[in-house]
Amino acid sequence: MHASMAYNSYIENNVAIESPFKLIEMLYEGVLRFNAQAKKAIKDGNCEKKVYWINRSVAIVTELIAVLDASQGDVAAYLEGLYNYQIKLLAEANLKDDATKLDEVSQVFKGLLEAWRENTHVA
């Protein structure tokens, strides 16, 4: 129990000192990781874990929507629509035990992660 609390404290402190660019990267990676776990849970027939991992992915995507900067114009509007569509796919994956929907979301986030890394390393 104490090890878990210490780990959570470490993670919270680590996130607090990360740059905003690194945080977005970590969120994208989180969606990929959680989707992989949800896909495994679907394969294993573990409904409880499937719901847990998909909900974690949805929480990240919801946070990504919340932190969008509307002053960025078309890019922010595009991302908001894209993120909302990913939430729809995650809900469908959850309701129908459809791992292909998780794959679709993961493909989008792999592309976003790659583009994010390219653009933040150039800047």
CA-CA-CA-CA torsion for 7, 12, 13, 14, nearest 10 degrees? 80
CATH class of 20-122: mainly alpha
Distances in whole angstroms, Cα of residue 49 to Cα of each of 7, 39, 60, 77, 84: 21, 10, 17, 32, 23
| Grouped pLDDT means (10 residues each) for the chain, 123 residues | 61 67 95 98 98 98 96 94 98 98 98 94 62
C-beta separation of 92 from 102 below 8 A: no
pLDDT value of residue 27: 97
pLDDT value of residue 13: 59
Q: Which residue has the tokens 């986030």?
A: 109
pLDDT value of residue 19: 86
pLDDT value of residue 71: 94
Distances in whole angstroms, Cα of residue 44 to Cα of each of 47, 85, 97, 117: 9, 26, 11, 33
Domain boundaries, the chain: 20-122
